[in-house]
Amino acid sequence: MRELRTQENEKFETFFELIRKKANELGCIFFVDAGEGHELFLDDLEGEDLSGWLIPFRLADTFEIGWKRLDVDEKWNRFFTFAFWRYDDGKVTVFFQSF
């Protein structure tokens, strides 16, 4: 997956598809920096809250160059955000929040 630096298992990839879909609805790609805890383990998916950059489609190729080198310039700080999950009524939903 383009937005992940590491190889993940199928259950995490299923979880990450929820994040990918939400980012796409916002016209963005969410590039992961780190896991932040608040882990989720279900039969068909697993994940946790994530931190990273929510980058508009038009800027994604430029951002990805530095991100792949682990050299993200501070000019990208305004895009840094968190992807949180919640479990309600048997359904996992994700949302983004910046501080």
Average pLDDT of 79-97? 96
Domain annotation covers residue 48: yes
pLDDT value at residue 69:
94
In a domain, 26, yes or no: yes
Beta partners for 44? none
pLDDT band, very low/low/confident/very high, at 26 (cuts 50, 70, 90):
very high
In this predicted structure, what is the pLDDT of residue 5? 85
| Amino acid, single-letter form, for residue 57 | F
Long-range (24+ apart) CB contacts under 8 A made by 89-94 are: 92/15, 92/18, 92/40, 92/42, 92/45, 93/18, 94/18, 94/19, 94/22
Task: Give the predicted TM-score (pTM) of the model.
Answer: 0.93
Mean pLDDT of the chain: 95
pLDDT for 78: 97
Please count the structural domains in the chain.
Answer: 1
2 versus 66: the higher-pLDDT residue is 66
Which domain range does residue 39 map to? Answer: 10-97
User: E strands of the chain, at which residues?
Assistant: 28-35, 40-41, 46-47, 50-56, 80-88, 91-97
> Tell me, what's the pLDDT at 73?
94
Strand, coil or helix: 46: strand
On the question of pLDDT at 61 being above 90, the answer is: yes
- The answer to whether residue 3 is domain-embedded is no
* pLDDT band of 1, cuts 50, 70, 90: confident
